[in-house]
Amino acid sequence: MARRLSFADSLGVKAIVAQLEILAREDPVAWKVSPLLRRCAEAGQSLAEARPKQ
């Protein structure tokens, strides 16, 4: 899981949300943006920063 989060962070959360919003125009059920992704994008936060500390 951490590897996927790192990959997503390397792409940029804002860029991922932007692409998902484009895809959601075609199929909003399949491409719904998760609340966590949206919060991170709006806050300028990475997924790694949003992840609970262990």
Instruction: Assess contact for 21 and 33: CB atoms under 8 A.
Output: yes
Q: What is the pLDDT of residue 44?
A: 94
Instruction: Answer yes or no: is pLDDT of 54 > 70.
Output: no
Count of residues for the chain?
Answer: 54
Q: What is the pLDDT of residue 1?
A: 57
Query: What span, in angstroms and rounded, lies between the C-alpha atoms of 3 and 9?
Result: 10
- List the structure tokens of 49: 């920063």
Q: What is the pLDDT of residue 5?
A: 79
Q: What is the pLDDT of residues 2-25, one digit of tens each?
A: 677 788 889 999 999 999 999 999
Percent of the chain with pLDDT over 70: 93
The count of other CB atoms within 10 Å of the CB of residue 5 is 14
Q: What is the pLDDT of residues 26-43, one digit of tens each?
A: 999 999 999 999 999 999
Q: What's the first-to-final CA gap in the chain, in angstroms? A: 14
